[in-house]
Amino acid sequence: MPRDAVACAGRWYVVGALADPAGATRPAAWSSPDASTWTPLRLTARSPYGAENVLAAVGCRGGRIAAVGAKSGGVHGNPRVSGWRQAADGSLVEVPAEFELFGGPDAVNVGRIVGGPRGWLIAGNRATGAAAWLSPDATDFRLVSGVPGLAVDGAGRPWAADAAAVPQGWLLVGSVLPAGRADVDPAVWTSADGRGWRRQVLSTDGVPEDLQRVVPVGERVVAVGRRGAGFGSWVGGAGGWRAAGGFGRATGGAPPRVLGLAAVAGGALVAGSDGAASLWFTTDGDDWSGRRAPVALPAGADATVALAGAGDRVLLLVDGGAGGGVWTARLPAG
């Protein structure tokens, strides 16, 4: 059950879980120098739910990884979320948290994790609006929610989908649902310290649009999400944000969904589902071209497609439910 991947300090990492025939799970992670030979990492759980975690997201900072995992349980079946940090010996160690840190009555979701010069950040959402969890070393996360910019207000209800570390601090991307509207507008949040946040709505033209993934690409930031019936990208830089290219077109009534986004030396690669899962590549965020996948990409709600990039190489992780695999390629390539 692989779920996410990252490149870190010259190695590839994949995280997820192993499941027995009865459906019981235990957390798992693997490492490889070349994406061909994989070595399982030793994991140390420190709570009953941690021993059953499915690791859903992984990030890199300072040559070490950290991950977020969860397992539903308790009277109400709510996700019990744990953080995981990489120890000096390369193993992953659970960092148990009080239930209310990630759960409790205000819980909505806990999403992706990213590392940067200022530490670690997990993006997610609470009943109060968008949220972020911060830690200098992945051992003690602190929740930031209900503050101006992140909180629900007269402008609408925010939703944070992904995060990135940028030179100015932290960046969140997602959407805002304006009061009285059924469709969302794309939005970004910036913060120097992770505690105070400034919200910027990028478009209010009435076209359903959001941002689902973001990645730094050179000196720019590329964010990708839904734009009408297809996908659209936004590019951020020193001059602010601008709407960039669109691509794909949803069929069958399902809204476009970004499955993965990774930066490589020549641009960015995105995996998305617009009725069928596909890959697209860009060098600048404006012009997107389709790329042939080495295997048919699953598009179902329970399927996993993830991307990770390092230099001119990209790793594609695919799990359609009957087993997963990884592939690598050099980009850009026709």
Q: Where are the domains of the chain?
A: 1-96
Gap between the Cα atoms of 21 and 149, Å rounded: 46
For the stretch 116-144, pLDDT in tens is 999 999 999 999 999 999 999 999 999 99
Which of 48, 64, 157 minimizes the C-alpha distance to 108?
157
Q: Which range, of 61-65, 101-105, 170-174, averages the lowest pLDDT?
A: 101-105
List residues bridging with 324 in a β-sheet.
319
Q: Are 256 and 272 in contact (CB under 8 A)?
A: yes
What's the pTM value of the predicted model, to 2 decimals? Answer: 0.95
Average model confidence (pLDDT) for the chain?
93
187 Cβ neighbours under 8 A, 6+ residues apart: 158, 173, 174, 175, 176, 199, 200, 201, 202, 211
For the stretch 153-193, pLDDT in tens is 999 999 999 999 999 999 999 999 999 888 999 999 999 99
Task: Please report which confidence band the pLDDT of residue 331 belongs to, taking 50, 70 and 90 as the band edges.
Answer: confident
Tokens 């994790």 correspond to 113
